[in-house]
Structure 1
């Protein structure tokens, strides 16, 4: 796509939002008979890939508010899928990891999720899409200084009211 035809940022955001909703719908369909929510699946998947994550990291990566994540983690602990422990290097942090039962549940759920995605026709651009999404995520995670609104540079706050 030539630069002049590049989609507006709002258009990209809308496309990403629609794709996320459709992906979540597919995930819900794969998980609905298991009693596992999409949010719980995301936590289990993150812990399967990287055990011993802190709650702040999990909240960031799942996009869940900390109180919601805490309630979800309490349920996963009660179900025997996750255990929490105090970080030995920083006693203020709590680390989470899958229990053996949680690893078994994750493997079972991962198979259902894979089956739900296998029904999608293969596309030669899948690797390219994943690469571009990874690059976009990295760009969006980078801190950016936003410009001041027009006409406000150097004006005291009282003058702008």
Structure 2
């Protein structure tokens, strides 16, 4: 309770991030393009036998710091959500063959980030998921915040 004459202190907001790494293979290939167009667009990443990556994923949640626990989220819970949403469906998998989501979606890192966001969004408390950052390599990184494009743009 706030002292007389003072309003209660608002709970501070914080962002908490946790990382996991997984290994997976894939082939960049769009069913909407010819084999020649795919080869020209994706180059060596269109190899018919695929190729692999050691992906790193950074998940950020946000929320008020609970005055009782001192936490935005219990890190054990976040670890469990990430295991279910990222590691179980993706680790040591061929994304195109083992993950139904990618049957009709090109397995680019952009789409991997969307897949992870959607899986986490179902599990985390409403409104807490802030950002998914996927490192395909040290040089290729995608950030997704659940945003959709604006129609007509």
TM over 0.5: no
TM range (shorter): under 0.3
Higher RCO by CA contacts (8 Å cutoff, separation 6 or greater): 2
The answer to which structure has the higher strand fraction is 2
Larger Rg: 1
- Give the TM-score, by structure 2 length: 0.23
